[in-house]
Amino acid sequence: MIMANLDLLRNILFIRRYSESTIKNYLNSLTKFDEWNKLGKELNKDLLFDFVRFLTLKDFSYSHIRNSIMALKLYSELILGKQLKNDFLRGIKRPHYVPDILSLAEVKKIIDSISNLKHKSIISLIYSFSGEIIL
């Protein structure tokens, strides 16, 4: 269903001056959606919801899911000529990761491994002012 219109969408995105990487990502997302939608159902809000649920269960990243949503919305608007509502997607949260903090022994090992006195002083000062070094 979508595969037939990929060249048209590619040309529209090129004319709109989307970057090559964005065009490639959008077309890959649409291809992935087309492979997932084996029955060829018409693109609507419920199908988009099911596809996002599928991507979430497959543990795709937040940005990949967001790009897939945007690609399908753009395809729906430009090629199919209909608005695709995605109000349910407003609450998707970006994952937050706890930073790694070096232990005192690791910091001491790093500082002791520095042979240049100036560099050793700079790293020691940075650590003493911050209290912790986040990687």
For 25-67, the pLDDT digits (tens) are 999 999 999 999 988 888 888 899 899 999 999 989 888 998 9
Over 60: is that where the pLDDT of 131 sits? no
Over 80: is that where the pLDDT of 87 sits? no
Domains of the chain, earliest start first: 3-89 (1.10.150.130), 97-135 (no CATH)
CB-based contact 12:78 (threshold 8 Å): yes
CB-based contact 26:74 (threshold 8 Å): yes
Round to whole Å and give the CA distance between 50 and 53. Answer: 5
Burial of 1 (0-12, 13-18, 19+ CB in 10 A): middle
CA-nearest of 97, 83, 4, 11 to 48 is: 83
